[in-house]
Structure 1
Amino acid sequence: MGAVSTVRRPRGTRLALFGGTLLLGGVLAGCGSTVDSEDVTDQVATAIEDSAGAPPDATDCPDPLDAEEGATTTCTVTVDDTDYDVPVEVTGVDGDTADFDITVPEELRVPRVAADDLADQIASGVADQVGEEPEGVTCPEDLRGEVGTTLTCVLTAPDGTELDTEVEVTSVEGAQVNFSFEVLPESNG
């Protein structure tokens, strides 16, 4: 996936920026000269689903992808009755595998807060509120920047008690993701 950068904002706010390009690979077909169009189609559909949060209504990559660095093809994805061009470019070939970039259209990108950054922000917020840093916070995955999205992280108190911590996205402004969190009072262990 493209690089994710975050910038610290006031508690409960994260700015997540995406490069918009996913690096994927495909197995070469036949004598090793192309990546089958079905494989490219599957990879593009997965990239759109990962970025947009839902699979596209349709994905069409009519041509195989030549297994040469710099080779390109353009696929078409349909989301909510709108067609989007999705460029695909081979970035390298190693044996029977071609690596390629899929550039997800900006309109289909949903910002995310990286799991580690989310955990750091929760730990900082708890330290600000109670005056003591927790032993640790772990979040199972990135937080998708869509209003109402929830995620449960686990906060480990200084005494080792593990507490579920509910996180909810409260607003999204461009790439800025605002969220609230609540440490639940009962041990989850």
Structure 2
Amino acid sequence: MKLRAFPLVVAAGLTLFGCSSKGDTVAKDTLEQGITDTLTKAVGQRPDKVECPGPIKAEAGQTMRCVLTAGSTRYGLSATITSYENGTAHYRAQVDQQPMR
């Protein structure tokens, strides 16, 4: 899979499946699947794997660094919650231009 097939920025909405006592969160697996599905729709190719370190608070401005794997190459990506409304967190995922070393 080639990086140039991936747009640098993708945006999508995730329906929340996890909540915490301190507020709503997007579960780790929900975020990973949402990023994977969005990239697949945007470029017509599914990344081999998207890994995030944990859940993210469903609050505008919250950012998490994740890793996208395409073949034997890994890229960093930043997932940022842009808004949260009616149980849906909207986010932006920006894939790094250079692979990880």
TM range (shorter): 0.7 to 0.9
Corresponding residue of 2:9: 21
Q: 4+ residue runs of structure 1 moved beyond 4 angstroms?
A: none
Percent of aligned pairs with the same amino acid: 26
Aligned length: 90
- 1:84 aligns with one of 66, 75, 78: 75
Q: Distance in 2 between matches of 1:52 and 1:94?
A: 27
Gap runs ≥5 in structure 2: 1-6
The residue correspondences of 1:1-189 to structure 2 (distance < 5 A) are 20-28=8-16, 29-30=18-19, 32-106=23-97
Shift of residue 30, structure 1, vs aligned partner: 2.2
- The corresponding residue for 2:4 is none
Q: Distance in 1 between matches of 2:39 and 2:47?
A: 7
TM-score by length of 2: 0.74
Greater relative contact order (Cα 8 A, min sep 6): structure 1 or 2? 2
Cα RMSD after superposing both structures: 2.3
| Superposed CA offset, 1:80-124 (max 9, x none) | 2011111100111112111111113447xxxxxxxxxxxxxxxxx
With 87-96 and 29-38 compared, the bigger mean Cα shift is at: 29-38
Distance (Å, rounded) in 2 between the aligned partners of 1:93 and 1:59:
22
- The residue type equivalent to 1:74 in the other structure is R
| CA deviation string 1:126-176 (max 9, x = no partner) | xxxxxxxxxxxxxxxxxxxxxxxxxxxxxxxxxxxxxxxxxxxxxxxxxxx
Code of the aligned partner of 2:9: T
**Does the residue aligned with 1:73 lie in a helix, a strand or coil?**
strand
Structure 1: where are the runs of 5+ without partners?
1-18, 108-189
